[in-house]
Structure 1
Amino acid sequence: MAILRLHDNGQIKESYFKEGLSLLKILHDQNVTISAPCGGNGSCGKCKVKLRNIGLVSSCTYYPNSNIEVVLPNQRESQILTHQYLHSLHLKPEQNLLTKVTDMSIGLGIDIGTTSVVFYWVNLITGELIKSIGVSNPQTKYGADVISRIYYCNNEENISTLQKAILNAINQQIDKFVTQENRSINDIVKVSISANTTMLHLLTGVNPSSIALVPFKAVFTDEKQLTVDELDIKANANAPICLLPSLSAYIGADIIAGLASLNPPEAIKKYLFIDIGTNGEMAIVTNNKIFCCAAAAGPAFEGANIHCGMGAFDGAIAVFNDDGYKTISDDKPIGICGSGLLDAVAYMLKKGIIGADGELNENFMVATKQASGNNEEVVITPQDVREVQLAKSAIFTGIKILMQEAGLDCHDLDAVYLAGGFGNYMNPKSAVTIGLLPEEIENKIITVGNTSGTGAMLHVLSDQFMTHAKTIIHKAELVELANHPEFEMEFAMNTYF
């Protein structure tokens, strides 16, 4: 056994570790969160840590065989979207639970995203939102996107690791809430959870491998109602734990809940709903049908696979234009997040630094070494531009084929609802400039916040919400992009800016 000496926010901790393990595994075993977007396979370079007397090493490929000292960077706050669309569906609280509802009764709605987890605490008498809070999904240290986490589950033992990680995160927030609000665990009499299909499998300890294998089928998509003992979530012993239903392996409960939570004005008859994330889920809603698809955009807009990419944390460049850059919390820049990346690529296009083919001859400087917060340049590389091309083409092609299947064009749409964190913070003009979104829809865009979380909260208030969700599923028609005869040609053409 060797000694790990850990320098963390001014504190020094010592522990033993077994030789033969990667440093990433050693740190994870010590509950130290180190980002590993590629799942620890050595391809992303994001898991670097500083070793005393050695310098920076990639923790997933470094196997220490003697005592080591690791210096961790100070923790940074992440900016997680919790707000909701003002014109969401309105449902009155119901009181048909096994536990008698009193003035102290609380419902908890949870949205488990791939990168973040958001909690909504609701008064079940008044329907009032007591508190909302977002935290990072601890599973990100095992992989940035659903595919890398599914591959991580090739080892059966790792399924339990991922399940424990998310359950611990949920229970930690429950403990914090009851302590801060002077409440009891017994006050929590209903829990509703919305998430994408993979996250729901991992939450319940179900192997999600079939989701990534042809024909891409989920083990379950129906709603589930579990007990606190079955899922080990801290709540009243009689509290139902409700998992909202999904449509398919890649159209999850987060999208169904999002669609069901919207309450568009009468004038809006046909609209596009889109969550521009790793999976690029989208739907076109008409009077009689809902056409759905998932465009595998990859994690570029989440900061993964980008040389200086990062999530929406303090110090991330979130805006870039003629006036320079702006970071989250106005900290010195240490990287660039999705919205900043979008702006920077749009800027390069407008200035002629790159052309329609995306060719970039040398790294584009976003922030100098002297101006940065970590003494490293923030740059965009030629490979970064390529990652953006692939991501934006997936989304644009998905929209185009979905419109075709619905028999519509952009002029027929009354509105375009953008859900999720990236959709909320990105500049629509930049999205149109690079060809992520069609130019014709720019003036129809409405950001709707965390609709998945809104759906979970609405279901906490009333079981009527499940009726709305099932209506969405009944009207939904899944469009498989990979099987569409025009997909490959369209995708290749749309990689051009």
Structure 2
Amino acid sequence: MTLENSRYKVHFLPGDVSVEIEKGKTVLDASYKGDLFINALCGGDGTCGKCKVILNTGKVDSLPTTHISEAEAKQGYVLACRTKVMGDLEVLIPEESKLDKSQILISDYPQFSGSLAAATSGLEQFEKKPLVRKIYLELSPPSLDDCMADYERLCQGVMVHANVPWEVLATNLTVLKRLPTLLRDAHWKVTATLGYRGSSVEIMEVQAGDVSAQNFGIAVDVGTTTVVAHLLNLSNAETIDVEATYNSQIKYGDDYIQRIIYAVQNNAMEIMQEVLVEDINHLISTLVKRNKLSIHDIGAVVCAGNTVMTHFLFGLDPTNIRREPYLPSASFVPPIKADDVGIKINGNGLLYTLPCVGAYVGGDISSGVLAIRLDKVDAVSLLIDIGTNGEIVLGNKDWMVCCSASAGPAFEGSGISCGMRAAKGAIEKVTITKNFDVVCKTIGNTPPSGICGSGLLDCLANLVRSGVIDRTGNFQKGIDTERFRKTDDGYEFILVDKNETATKKDIVITQADIQNLIRSKAAIYSAISTLIESMGMGVNDIEQVYLAGGFGNYLDIRSAITIGMLPDISVSKVQFVGNTSVIGAKMSLFYKDAYEVAQTIASKMTYFDLMSNNKYMEEYMSANFLPHTDIEKFPSVAEELMVP
């Protein structure tokens, strides 16, 4: 039925969700309105081909695309982002196009022994004093002989019991207005909440009685793809619960540069902030309800994210980040009231963020360096966090340099024919035998739906090991296997037959996929190589390598070396350290001193801008080979591939 002002009803299956939307809006727009997440890695530009849906009934205006085959078109497939609503519709979202929030991986990666130990080895160095703490006070009642004012009496109690100098104490008008009645009703036995705000300590709240144990906070990893929140008990430095969701900004672009462009072109800066804050509020609300707490119990939130996500969180303009000379509006934002940006916790609760280093190295990396205490070690070490961008830090306690390589979203599944993010059903490991038999392992041990970053890397390594492709990445045309075939779009290799997949479609890797992956791995390697050479060092000078993030969780180190993404180093030097972004945020919330150390770390790191670095571009061109044009840089791979 046509609705007022040319609005139509779109009914989505299998979720049985219906929305009303204006004529001419896309099916993708309608899915967002219904809070349905469809894979649209390109942000709706029509370039990734991931948002395929099946049109059961209704009238649409669908733009032509090469991503829909003739066979798929006969089955009713269309691209959601290229299909305009021109009447009431019934749309089926197939399994391969769904983004299921329940599939997000949020563990601390306990399967790697020592991963958390490595990332928390320096905790004993910090005094057990959280950024926001509660202290119980039994104040002396006033008398004719003791006529100190109520607020000064409170401050005196804080000074004695919390060892906080009088001159740094501050408070808010709400506390001052309520204080006289509260103190007397509580018989001068109260709990004061103290929040650290740089050089001052704010008395955020005063409550009757002893509620000092009811002190909770939230640590958030504000990622480009996912947002992960940990509920923390600040009284005993324990993690209570964890929750995660996809970053809802995905609808505006898979990477943050696309999102900046979208925000500028559509005057949508406020929208970018709103959807991000909504995600954080949803996580906080879920954690609070599940653990039978109150929003009022949450006194602080610490967020760690890249520079652009930090800008969006505060509503800062990030447009200069993508323009020469690539400057953020602010690298460090002092603590503010969380309510000022719309985060719903205690009305006087504080929002802290970890400091950024440069345009493309953000607070998530400062947090990561804090987590592994790279600032305290003698050994020259590498911290590598691989995602849409590859952030790299090289150094030790005496010096640190860092950079960011634009690897592109290939390792998160974008731009790859059967790529997907790391979720249940994603192929995470691949083995190819000499007879070209393929063995795949999926996340969750379920039938495969696609292949994620670690699986793609593994696949590329095994393709070159088995001789399916040569060192240029090109398929060897003489391969004798039915898995190798030519299509209208070029050559491809079948990893999993459609009869064995969850989507009932072949999972393949194409020639275009391989070249895309080689470019991505080349960006990572050349960034690492540029940093090492810029410091006058060689690969053998690196004593320890830390791999952070979800991608590192499933990475096969030997495969990463075989394809030339990582330098040719001993596998024994590599250690997985999990989500160091959220670990550093937790450390900062648990320990005020750790938060201050993070600021020192950020100020200590020297940022290398690779965009204008000629050495980087030269190295990048040489690295577009498996593993490298100079095989002597990879002696173990030369031996593995039997290259003279």
Quickly name the TM-score band, shorter chain normalised: over 0.9
Q: Which runs of 5+ in 2 are unaligned?
A: 1-5, 58-74, 109-114, 134-193, 196-203, 433-437, 478-490, 627-644
- CA distance in structure 2 between the partners assigned to 1:145 and 1:189 by the alignment: 32
| 1:210-289 superposed matches below 5 A | 210-263=320-373, 268-289=378-399
Which of 589, 605, 610 is equivalent to 1:476? 605
Counting aligned pairs with the same residue, the percent is 33
Once the 2 structures are TM-superposed, how far is the Cα of residue 267 of structure 1 from its aligned partner?
Answer: 7.0
3-state SS, counterpart of residue 18 of structure 2: strand
Once the 2 structures are TM-superposed, how far is the Cα of residue 201 of structure 1 from its aligned partner?
Answer: 1.2
- CA distance in structure 2 between the partners assigned to 1:7 and 1:400 by the alignment: 49
AA partner of residue 116 (structure 2): Y
Match of 1:316 in 2: 426
Match of 2:467 in 1: 352
Match of 1:425 in 2: 554
| 1:324-363 superposed matches below 5 A | 324-360=439-475, 362-363=491-492
Match of 2:508 in 1: 379
Match of 1:137 in 2: 247
3-state SS, counterpart of residue 141 of structure 1: helix
| 1:8-47 superposed matches below 5 A | 8-9=13-14, 11-47=15-51
- CA distance in structure 2 between the partners assigned to 1:266 and 1:108 by the alignment: 26
- CA distance in structure 1 between the partners assigned to 2:391 and 2:612 by the alignment: 16
- CA distance in structure 1 between the partners assigned to 2:245 and 2:625 by the alignment: 36
How many residues are aligned here? 496
Match of 2:8 in 1: 3
- Note the alpha carbon deviations across 1:63-121, whole angstroms, 9 max, x for none: 12122111124664424244162231314233342246721210111011111111111
- CA distance in structure 2 between the partners assigned to 1:15 and 1:173 by the alignment: 24
- CA distance in structure 1 between the partners assigned to 2:26 and 2:577 by the alignment: 42
Q: TM-score, normalised by structure 2?
A: 0.74
Whichever of the two has the greater Rg, that structure is 2
Q: Which runs of 5+ in 1 are unaligned?
A: none
Are 1:452 and 2:562 counterparts?
no
- CA distance in structure 2 between the partners assigned to 1:44 and 1:465 by the alignment: 42
Match of 2:65 in 1: none
Are 1:85 and 2:116 counterparts?
yes
Q: Contact 2:24–2:86 (CA<8 Å) still a contact in 1?
A: yes
3-state SS, counterpart of residue 365 of structure 2: helix
- Note the alpha carbon deviations across 1:285-325, whole angstroms, 9 max, x for none: 13421011111111100111111100011111111114600
Which of 92, 97, 100 is equivalent to 1:71? 92
Q: Contact 2:412–2:421 (CA<8 Å) still a contact in 1?
A: yes
Match of 2:301 in 1: 191
Q: TM-score, normalised by structure 1?
A: 0.95
Higher relative contact order (Cα pairs below 8 Å, separated by 6+ residues): 1
- CA distance in structure 1 between the partners assigned to 2:237 and 2:500 by the alignment: 48
- CA distance in structure 2 between the partners assigned to 1:287 and 1:461 by the alignment: 23
Which of 36, 49, 52 is equivalent to 1:48? 52
- Note the alpha carbon deviations across 1:307-365, whole angstroms, 9 max, x for none: 11000111111111146001111221111000110111111000111111111362011
Once the 2 structures are TM-superposed, how far is the Cα of residue 268 of structure 1 from its aligned partner?
Answer: 4.8
Measured on the aligned residues, the alpha-carbon RMSD in Å equals: 1.9
Once the 2 structures are TM-superposed, how far is the Cα of residue 26 of structure 1 from its aligned partner?
Answer: 2.4
- Note the alpha carbon deviations across 1:230-286, whole angstroms, 9 max, x for none: 111111111111122101110100001110122369875210111011111101113
Q: Aligned in 2, Cα 1:38/1:267: closer, same or farther, shift over 3 Å?
A: closer
3-state SS, counterpart of residue 355 of structure 2: coil
Q: Contact 2:339–2:345 (CA<8 Å) still a contact in 1?
A: no
Match of 1:171 in 2: 281
- Note the alpha carbon deviations across 1:186-241, whole angstroms, 9 max, x for none: 10011111000111111222232221222211111113322132111111111111
Deviates more, 1:84-93 or 1:453-462: 84-93
- CA distance in structure 1 between the partners assigned to 2:39 and 2:320 by the alignment: 25
